[in-house]
Every structure is written in structure tokens, then in C-alpha cells.
Structure 1
């Protein structure tokens, strides 16, 4: 009798995180997994941080939404960034459009597409560092194949809504290219070669484990306070060349000039979130949106010092040995533990190149917590 194919996780070779998923025999759509296998999928997600299920180019927005929502029974069904995603001053405003019949699913990519899920014509723009970093690459560097990490982040509104547990990202149309790009670390002069416009990830658990004992204790007792409407607050500012945080040169929108906000909706989250499956502590700081940093000794680091501290803790985590950059193929469905990794867009496309992707994340009903051992 032939062996029945079961749900299987194969770790990605030579990567510090991530696994490829083989679905059970007879299952094409991951939304059709029974409760037992879906629980295994969720445990695999929280264990490996990033899962890739190949061959999902026909996955419907409805199924993608169901998979994402099923990962967190507390989520209420809305989008993880709420209305701020479309605000005309938000740094997120040009990053995608919603699927009409499944608005929790965002359409991302590059180029113009007609007739996609009932939309007459949509023009998509791949985010690049050129209009976000303080000092973009020169024309010569770009012509020599260089790119940047755009912004290391957690998918979350970080105001009024809790960070989603899981983000799903589906590659529907991916350019057939073998082109690679290079990222140069300006402070160490290291270089890595990546697939064009790959998505980069690092593990918050690995980042925490790499801290000194002193920094671990500091991180475990520190809170990260985010700005009200943080993506609007930072919109005039510019990022560091590695996308870890923002440069402090007083360009942020004053709080008094932001859209109306409520103190009760300001997010104050632990710097360290504990993984409910592995029990590992995870360093989770959205360096671009940070506003203040209350520390265990009662001091509160204000904006510039909070950014410096966030940078000091995060920067080692993006070293080449610590990241996985996914090379997209048509039909790849990536699920990542949004409360356990940070990720970044990379790359840029030449004129005429197109890419089409679907993304879904849903705000959790509860904030992540630190559980002291």
C-alpha cells in the first residue's frame, strides 16, 4: 500500500528561518485543510516563522482570507492597517488596492493590469527606497545592480489595532527572470546577492537570542510606544540607508497637525513578544514608527534616542547570515508569523516589467505579550 502523503515541512537550505510546505494528498487549497492539519500548519508557522506553499497561483482571494483569518481566532475580519492605508499623507497610500469582493486582500505589484477580479484597470507601483531613504543610491550604483532594503517592519496599523498574527502573500504573476541584485551594507561593506525584488525576513527570536545578557534583560522590561497615526507622522521624514529606522532631522508632522487621534488608541507594546508555541522570546520593534521608549528604570527615551536604541538592537539582526530573502516564483504562497519576524521589500523593476501579488493580514483581537520564564 503506498504511503499516504501528509503535511510536511522541509526547512529551507542554508537559511536561518523558513520551511517549504507539502500539503496532504488530495489537498490543493490550504483553506480546505481539516482542523488537525490546519493546527499543524499554524504550529509550523510559529516554529519556522516563514512558510512557503508552492503551486497556489489559482488560490482565490476568499481562500486566502480564510487561511489568514483562521490563523488567529481572535481577529475580527478587518484589514490590519485600517483606513490609514489609504490616507493621502500616509507612506502606505500607494502600496496597493483592495480586491472588490474581498477587501481584506490587497493587490500589490508593478504595472497596469486590466480585468483583475472585476477591476477595469489598476496601476500598481512597487515600493522602492528612492522616495523613502534620506540618501538613495546613485544612478551608477543602480546601473551596477544595487538595491536596498526598503523598510524593515511589522505589518500593523500600530494605532488602535493590534498587530496581525499572520500575513499571507501570494505571487500570481512574477517576471520570468534570473536577474539578481546586490545589497551593500554601508557600515560594514559586506554585500549579498538576492533575487530581483525578493522579500527579506529576519527572526525576532534569533535577534533576541543574539543579544547580550544585559540587553536581554533591558529588552524584556522595555516598552515601545508608537506615534499616533505613525505612517502619517513619519511621512515627511526619511529612512536610514538600511531601512531599519528613520533619520531624526525634525521633519515629522507635529502631533497637533495629525488627523484627530485618541490617547487610548496609541499603541504601547512590549519590546519582546513571547511565541506561544515555542516559548521563545522575540525582539519585535518597528523601528520606523517608534516614538518613545519607556525603560524598566523609569526613564523614557524620546524620539531621537528611542530610534538610536532601536537601531542598536535591530541592526545586528539584518546581517547577511541572519536573513532569508525569498526568491518569488509564480504560485508561491508565503505565510509569515507577523508577530515573530520583521520583513522588508527589496529591489526595483525596469520599465515594462510587471508583477502581481495578493496580500492579506487581519488585525488581532489582542496585543502580543511578554511571558517571563
Structure 2
């Protein structure tokens, strides 16, 4: 009796998968690949700039412009603390505002911050008084929750005395800072080659400033708009505009030296700083080999922007006992600064009028 063949005894349906099973297996593989893709994408999305090494992150933040640094500070608490650090904003402050911010502006900013803190403390005190008053009429838990929410909404994450706060206050025009403006009223013949104290407010839309000058006698404070950067400087001395500057360079003055001198129309006006040079006495022929002007008790000041014969062309002061000299007709001359650097002198020469003044 012959043995049955293997092919006849085996059920091929148990060995070869059906078309339905193959399709099911294919779908399972596609679904699995999609899951892996989602996992990979999720892993990539979870990667954060905070995962970078500390040095790399610091280098990135140092290269951000002020707007980028400000936006980065709003991402999360960790970046907020890093992006609001003084060491990052010092560079931006120095680059844009360093030439305009002097010691007087720093003092004014401290007073500004102090007044804001006092106002904030006063508001908090008023809120506490109101809280106690309302607690007699409303549930204490409801009253507290309302005030906590309001305080949270109003509280800024940025310290008011940080350099970032100062930069933003300057950039937004909220902070008026003291500085000096060359050529007051921008070309007015009466103020050529002068520099006057003012309070300035920045306008970022026009990249210019609004200047508010101190009152002149009984006149109200004068305003000037669209003052350009090249007409502004930080005050070189801390003397207020109505005070006499104490001169400490009289013994060093010699013919040819460039100077700035305070001048005002009358005692009710603030001083402005005017450019001039030290000249020779009438008894001196101007020969440097025989000039003795430096040893004289009298110092001659020349204002060459005025024509020969003009009453504004010359002025004389006492080298050893100079305070304020002048009269109501010609004005009053006050303290003197000697200009030691070519940079200061060149700025004045760039402002020199095209026509000689009478």
C-alpha cells in the first residue's frame, strides 16, 4: 500500500497567508511607521534653546538686538531672568545712549525710579485700606481674590531699577532726561554757536527728540521738536542752568585756547554755553615769541563768529577774581570751561555759521 504524498495530506491554507491577512499586516506596518514618525517629531519639538550649553546660550543672547532680547524675555521665566540681566543691556545702553547720558541723567533716573516705587507703595497702601473697608460688606475670600488678581495683572516682571527698564523707558519716550542742545531753535541767529540745557524725550518713529527748555524770566518753558542726534550732548559739567559754574582753568588760559563760557541775557534767564577762543591784549602784537598775555591779570575772549566792531566780538575777564561780569545791555558772562580735546572743538567748528554775524 502506497503512502500518501505530503502534498495531498497538508492544508496549504495553514501555511500561505490569505490576501486579507497580508493587507492587515501591511496596515499594521504603516501604522507603526506613523507612530514612530510622531514620536520623532514630538522629540524634536521638545528640544529647547535652554538645552544648549550655557556658553552657547550666552553667546546667542549677547548677539541679539534689543527688540530680539526683549521678545526672548517673554518666552518663559528662565529666559526672562537671563534676558533682563544688566550685563546684556549695558552694551545696548552704551552703544545707543552712551553719548547722551551723563551724571545728571543718571541722578534723574534714580529719582524717577524712587518716585515710581513710592507711588506703587502708596497704591498698595490704598488697596489695603479699601480691602479692610470692603471686608465688612463682601466675603473676605472674594475681596482678596479680586485684589490678588488685579495686583498680579499690574505687576511687571522687570525690576524698575534695571538697565533694561531704563533702556525701554528711554526708547519709549516715557523718561525725560537732562542734556544740552547745540544751536538752540535750530538756526536762530541769536543762538548760533551756543549750547543750552534742556529736558529731552525720544521719538522712535522719527528718530529725533523733543526738547523742553527752562523758563526764560517770566516766559514759560519753550519747546522744540525734531531735534536731531548731532545737536545733542551730555552736560560736560554738573552745574544747573541757573547756577554760576566755578571756573578752575583761568591760570591755564593762553591765546589760541578754545573755551566755552556761560552767558545769559539777564539775571532771570538760565545760562547757555557759548564757544570762543582766548585772544591777545591790545598791547600785544600777537607774536608768540614776545607774547606776555598769559601772565596778564586780564584775559581777552574772542567770538570770531561776530563781525569786527560788533559789541559781541570781544569780552574781558579778570584772571584772578572772575565771578560773573556784564550788564543788562550786553548780558552777563559766567563760568568758563577750557576745551582740551579736538573732538569737542571740532563739534563747535561744524556748527560754524556760513555768514558772519553782526
Structure with more strand by fraction: 1
| Both structures adopt the same fold (TM-score exceeding 0.5) | no
- TM-score, L = length of structure 1: 0.23
Pair member with larger Rg = 2
- TM-score, L = length of structure 2: 0.24
